[in-house]
């Protein structure tokens, strides 16, 4: 999907737009502040060195709309934060639903 299709036909379930927008905003704040990955575990990162809240958001997005919604949100994060932080988020979500499993 491209920018135009994301804009016109976002894969957001009916009634979930407000929540998805809030979650995207939170991810965009987490990335520059903490990153989504760490070299060492410890708050705000879990034992796999993944941002705890980033993982929680990924699980919620999966519950709301599965892989397609997660992919849509990743594209939005990539446009706002760049490829490096988006790649870290992609790895942070590994194993959630069918994401990179």
Q: Is the pLDDT of residue 54 over 90?
A: yes
Using CA atoms, how far apart are residues 31 and 84, in angstroms rounded to an integer?
Answer: 10
Q: Is the pLDDT of residue 7 over 60?
A: no
In a domain, 25, yes or no: yes
pLDDT tens digits for 63-100?
A: 999 999 999 999 999 999 999 999 999 999 999 999 87
Q: Phi and psi of 87, rounded to 5°?
A: -65, -35
In a domain, 32, yes or no: yes
In a domain, 88, yes or no: yes
In a domain, 101, yes or no: no
Instruction: Give the range of the structural domain holding residue 24, as residue numbers without chain letter.
Output: 3-92
Where residue 18 falls among pLDDT bands split at 50, 70, 90?
A: very high
- Which one has a higher pLDDT value, 44 or 5? 44
- Per the structure, the count of domains in the chain is 1
Q: Is the pLDDT of residue 4 over 70?
A: no
Report the 10 Å Cβ neighbour count for 25: 12
- DSSP-derived 3-state class of residue 83: helix
């Amino acid at each position: 999907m491209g920018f135009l299709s994301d804009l016109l036909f976002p894969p957001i379930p009916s009634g979930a737009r407000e929540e998805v927008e809030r979650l995207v905003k939170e991810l965009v704040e987490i990335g520059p502040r903490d990153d989504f990955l760490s070299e060492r575990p410890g708050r705000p990162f879990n034992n796999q060195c993944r941002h705890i809240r980033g993982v929680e958001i990924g699980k919620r997005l999966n519950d709301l709309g599965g892989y397609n919604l997660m992919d849509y949100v990743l594209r939005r994060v990539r446009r706002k934060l760049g490829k490096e932080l988006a790649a870290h988020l992609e790895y942070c979500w590994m194993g959630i639903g069918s994401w990179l499993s």
